[in-house]
């Protein structure tokens, strides 16, 4: 990120059109220079036409130059009268060349500056979005589809880029072309100037109409594009499931449906352009022929000279071009404005206030954790707006209301949770899927804010801790292991602050019982993970993420089902290694195996968001309840296994 102070937030609050303008702040000067360059190029080109008129009328036909223009007519007339035509020709030819060179050079610079601005701006916006997205809340990401985000960050940003590269500069070009050529014709004949531009209001009204139509169509088009990219992204991520369930045909049909929808919207979109173009072309063509006809008649009647007619006919072409293109630009601009709105939607989302809260003891936290009557329910802030935000122009305002006003609270997931842990103790959470274990531990990292009650760490309310600080103190091994497409070593080192030696990496890997596995890979710790490298088993991934967390040496360790995909043998290895590591840090373990859970100082049995049993293993095992049932069930399986093994041994 090249510029951290680049604040797009204020752009998100402004209307789309003024946002597009504000986005240019800091670049307006170079952009202005680009437009001036366009004007100079246009002037040079008009100069060529005037030179042409001069050549025909005043040099070839020897008519005296009219008085009353900017030029010193008297002197020029005198020079032309005295000099041989053949002597004037080289000068005129040089002037033609000079004008052409000026036109070329300035056209080049205007294009260069405009594209520089466009590329820089779009790079900034992309950087900003990338940075912004990782600072948004869990809730936002829970409820936003990946494909949707990808299409906004790529396709919509690109449409904004195109606007600055071509359309914004195009507006300047059109305006200058029109003004300069109109003035040029006006100097030749005011009557012709007005008669050559009578269709302008018609074209402008038509353009505004199409601006709206195309905007609407493009919104639907981009939405469908997002839907398609979502489907595609999901399909590719889940391709193994699709294959395993032999659902290819079904999935293909579903994709085909969305794709057909996009096709239809695309056709409609194209049809709009397709209607607009021929109509404006006919209007502009008629205007041009009308202009030629008027000019020719005036020339035949002797109202204007032949040279004037020649220059005029060129300038008419030059004035028809901007009239015709005003429509194209305006319609293209509408797509940029739509895309801008879609990007605005993301920017408008509030970031997680990572640095809010002022309690951050320099020597870390000890790890006394207390939950006092804590209740929590997930929010659905974005539920509808994320989907139909692009539908209407008013969606922004509507979403603001939703964010400020009614956060849709779903029924609570955690009810009146109370418990207390001393520093260094182990808490185990046991309970069926969906009982709220993950939710409970996620509250500690302030991924979500609890609604009622009080959570304290070292007797300080959780809200007083900075989120960033907390996340450095608390190490979490998430339920779903995620590894980046980098080397194994980079994955383990991810998140460790400061210099990390190889020995430390190895030690963490050993503690997570994954060192030996890594050593079997041809490149050891330098092996790439993921699509371009080795494919790891679920258990291996879990152990790598465990090593990653252990390396951070956190004061509070959270293991969310960190050993669910690991076999019993390996799990006991990890348990042994962890025993040392857990010694002086508070640890939360979520696990299904009684052997893992039984070492805990406090076992909490959760059911449907409530703590239904609590105590140590010895207490719970002698109490009728879920814990005893699970214990008996697992003991029975172990016994059966033992029996069978000894039967084989006999
Ligand atoms: N991000 C989320 N948004 C909304 N509801 C959620 C979210 N995560 C989990 N839930 C719901 O909260 C409940 C508890 O889930 P969870 O804490 O993941 O349970 P566990 O980890 O015990 O399996 C479930 O009913 C689940 O549907
Ligand atoms: Mg869970």
The residues near 577 (Cβ < 8 Å, ≥ 6 apart) are 510, 511, 512, 513
CA of residue 156 to ligand 2 center, whole Å: 36
Residue nearest to atom 18 of ligand 1 (CA): 438
SS3 category, 21: helix
Mutation to probe ligand 1, out of 379, 413, 597 (largest number of atoms < 8 A from CB): 413
Q: Provide the 10 A C-beta neighbour count for residue 26.
A: 13
The residues near 628 (Cβ < 8 Å, ≥ 6 apart) are 620, 621, 622
SS3 category, 534: strand
Does pLDDT of 519 surpass 80?
A: yes
In the chain, the domains with their CATH numbers are 9-348 (1.20.1560.10), 369-387+412-624 (3.40.50.300)
Percent of the chain with pLDDT over 90: 27
Mutation to probe ligand 1, out of 433, 436, 558 (largest number of atoms < 8 A from CB): 436
Q: List residues near ligand 1 (CB under 6 A).
A: 142, 378, 413, 431, 433-439
CA of residue 423 to ligand 1 center, whole Å: 27
Does pLDDT of 409 surpass 70?
A: no
CA of residue 191 to ligand 2 center, whole Å: 80
Nearest to 145 by CA among 223, 249, 219: 223
Q: What is the Cα–Cα distance from 313 to 598, expressed in whole angstroms? A: 94
| pLDDT one-digit tens code per residue, 581-612 | 777 889 999 988 888 888 899 999 999 999 99
| pLDDT one-digit tens code per residue, 281-322 | 899 899 999 999 999 999 999 888 888 898 888 888 888 888
pLDDT of residue 7: 67
CA of residue 613 to ligand 2 center, whole Å: 18
CA of residue 433 to ligand 2 center, whole Å: 7
Does pLDDT of 406 surpass 50?
A: no
CA of residue 432 to ligand 2 center, whole Å: 9
| pLDDT one-digit tens code per residue, 561-589 | 877 777 777 777 777 777 767 778 899 99
SS3 category, 352: coil
Query: What are the residues facing 456 on neighbouring strands?
Result: 370, 461
Q: Work out whether the CA dihedral 65, 67, 73, 78 comes out positive or negative.
A: positive
Eight-state DSSP code of residue 144: S
The residues near 621 (Cβ < 8 Å, ≥ 6 apart) are 627, 628, 631
Mean predicted lDDT score pLDDT of the chain: 84
Mutation to probe ligand 1, out of 136, 143, 378, 604 (largest number of atoms < 8 A from CB): 378
pLDDT of residue 408: 60
Q: Where would I find the beta strands (DSSP E) of 261-324? A: none
Q: What is the Cα–Cα distance from 636 to 642, expressed in whole angstroms? A: 10
Burial of 389 (0-12, 13-18, 19+ CB in 10 A): buried
pLDDT of residue 387: 41
Percent of the chain with pLDDT over 70: 93
Structure tokens, 463: 């809200």
C-alpha distances (whole Å) from 485 to each of 240, 528, 532, 565 are 19, 7, 7, 21
Does pLDDT of 432 surpass 50?
A: yes
pTM over 0.85: no
Cα end-to-end span (Å), the chain: 68
| pLDDT one-digit tens code per residue, 444-471 | 999 999 999 999 999 999 999 999 899 9
Q: What is the Cα–Cα distance from 56 to 47, expressed in whole angstroms? A: 14
Q: Provide the 10 A C-beta neighbour count for residue 40.
A: 18
Whose tokens are 């030029």? That residue is 71
- The phi and psi torsions of 465 (rounded to 5 degrees) equal -85, 140
């Amino acid at each position: 990120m090249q510029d951290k102070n680049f604040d797009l937030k204020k752009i998100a609050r402004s209307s789309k059109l003024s946002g597009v303008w504000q986005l240019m702040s800091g670049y307006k000067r170079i952009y202005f220079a680009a437009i001036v360059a366009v004007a100079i190029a246009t002037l040079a080109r008009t100069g060529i036409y005037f030179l042409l008129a001069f050549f025909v009328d005043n040099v070839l036909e020897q008519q005296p130059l009219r008085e009353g223009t900017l030029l010193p007519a008297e002197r020029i007339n005198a020079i032309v009268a005295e000099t041989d035509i053949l002597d004037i020709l080289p000068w005129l030819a040089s002037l033609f060349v000079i004008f052409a060179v000026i036109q070329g050079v300035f056209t080049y610079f205007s294009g260069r500056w405009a594209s520089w601005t466009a590329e820089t701006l779009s790079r900034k916006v992309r950087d900003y979005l990338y940075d912004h997205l990782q600072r948004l809340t869990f809730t936002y990401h829970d409820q936003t589809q990946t494909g949707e985000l990808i299409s906004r960050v790529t396709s919509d940003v690109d449409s904004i880029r195109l606007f600055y590269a071509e359309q914004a500069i195009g507006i300047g070009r059109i305006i200058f072309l029109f003004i300069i050529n109109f003035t040029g014709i006006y100097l030749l004949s005011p009557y012709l100037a007005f008669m050559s531009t009578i269709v302008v209001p018609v074209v402008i009204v038509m353009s505004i109409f199409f601006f709206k139509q195309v905007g609407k169509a493009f919104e639907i088009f981009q939405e469908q594009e997002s839907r398609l990219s979502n489907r595609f992204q999901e399909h590719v991520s889940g391709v193994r499931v699709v294959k395993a369930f032999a659902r290819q045909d079904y999935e293909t049909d579903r994709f085909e449906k969305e794709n057909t929808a996009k096709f239809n919207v695309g056709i409609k979109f194209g049809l709009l352009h397709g209607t607009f173009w021929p109509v404006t072309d006919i209007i502009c063509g008629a205007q041009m022929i009308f202009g030629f006809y008027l000019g020719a008649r005036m020339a035949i009647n002797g109202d204007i000279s032949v040279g004037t007619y020649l220059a005029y006919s060129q300038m008419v072409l030059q004035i028809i071009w901007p009239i015709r293109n005003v429509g194209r630009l305006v319609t293209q601009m509408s797509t940029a404005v739509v895309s801008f709105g879609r990007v605005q939607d993301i920017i408008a989302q509030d970031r997680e206030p990572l640095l809010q809260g002022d309690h951050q003891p320099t020597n870390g936290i000890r790890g006394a954790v207390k939950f006092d009557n804590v209740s929590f329910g997930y929010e659905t802030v974005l539920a509808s707006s994320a989907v139909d935000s692009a539908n209407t122009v008013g969606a922004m305002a509507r979403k603001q209301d939703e964010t400020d006003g009614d956060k849709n609270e779903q029924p609570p997931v955690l009810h009146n949770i109370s418990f207390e842990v001393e520093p260094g103790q182990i808490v185990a959470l046991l309970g069926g899927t969906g009982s709220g274990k993950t939710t409970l531990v996620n509250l500690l990292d302030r991924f979500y804010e609890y609604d009622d009650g009080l959570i304290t760490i070292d007797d300080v309310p959780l809200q007083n801790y900075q989120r960033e600080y907390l996340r450095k103190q608390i190490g979490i091994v998430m339920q779903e292991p995620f590894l980046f497409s980098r080397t194994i070593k980079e994955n383990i080192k991810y998140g460790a602050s400061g210099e990390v030696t190889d020995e430390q990496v190895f030690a963490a890997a050993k503690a997570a019982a994954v060192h030996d596995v890594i050593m079997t890979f041809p490149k050891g710790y330098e092996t790439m993970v993921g699509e371009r490298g080795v494919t790891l088993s679920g258990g291996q991934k879990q152990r790598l993420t465990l090593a990653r967390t252990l390396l951070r040496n956190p004061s509070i360790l959270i293991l969310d089902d960190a050993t669910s995909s690991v076999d019993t043998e390996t799990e006991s290895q990890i348990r042994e290694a962890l025993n040392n590591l857990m010694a002086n840090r508070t640890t939360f373990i979520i696990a299904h195996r009684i052997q893992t859970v039984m070492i805990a100082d406090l076992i909490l049995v959760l059911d449907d968001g409530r703590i239904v049993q609590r105590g140590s293993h010895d207490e719970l095992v002698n109490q009728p309840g879920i814990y005893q049932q699970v214990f008996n069930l697992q003991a029975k399986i172990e016994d059966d296994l033992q029996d069978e093994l000894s039967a084989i041994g006999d």
